[in-house]
Amino acid sequence: MDAREGALAVVRAWRTQIDAAVSAGASGVLADVLSRPDVGHAYVVKVLDVHPCLGKVAGRRLMARVGLGPRVRIGELGPEERAELVAECRCAGA
């Protein structure tokens, strides 16, 4: 059971990180969310979905313009992709 408990602890930590990323995305400061190293397991689409200036449709269109698929995680983004997402998001405070 120790291995199972260890695995559950890892999953719990990942979920906490993902929840933190989504909560931070809802605050509207996209650059801060994308620069945080602790939210690398969160999907970019989840953060953009809750962004106050984007929402689901605009967030997915933004990802398509940048050339990202729907299953890309924040930790998989390169510096250029992060900068392009922030630049393309035309919201104040993004």
Domain boundaries, the chain: 2-88
The pLDDT score that the predictor gives to residue 91 is 65
pLDDT of residue 33: 87
Residue 57: per-residue pLDDT: 92
d(CA 60, CA 68): 9
Tell me the average confidence (pLDDT) per consecutive run of 10 residues in the chain, 94 residues long.
86 85 80 85 89 88 92 93 86 52
Q: What is the CATH number of domain 2-88?
A: 1.10.8.50
